Amino acid sequence: MSNAAKDVNSVSTIICPLNTDGVTLQRVYVNPTTHGLCISNGTTGTDYGVTHALRDDNGVTVLMGVSSSDFVTPVPIYADSSGNMLTKST
């Protein structure tokens, strides 16, 4: 498990479950020069059935979205082991 990093004001950074198991937490990385979010485009994932916000050891929750199938069900947003948030462009 990777705890979210915090800034000097105790604001937490983004953490996401790994796309390999849906429960191991991974910090999401940002390019320090461009301030752009590191993403992996066009990836596929597996639904591990987790529909609640996992928490790290400090109580920080993972990033969540809403299902594009029913527009209601909460879905955790995955990251890969390199710290890239997964996305699928349409």
* Count of domains for the chain: 1
| Residue 40: per-residue pLDDT | 87
Judge whether residue 5 has pLDDT over 80: yes
Strand bridging mode 85-87 / 39-41: parallel
Domain that holds residue 80: 1-90
Residue-wise pLDDT for 32-77, tens only, equals 999 999 998 867 667 787 778 899 999 999 999 998 889 998 888 8
| Residue 51: per-residue pLDDT | 77
| Residue 44: per-residue pLDDT | 65
Residue 57 exposed, middle or buried by CB count within 10 Å (0-12, 13-18, 19+): exposed
What whole-number distance in Å separates Cα of residue 35 and Cα of residue 77?
20
| Residue 38: per-residue pLDDT | 92
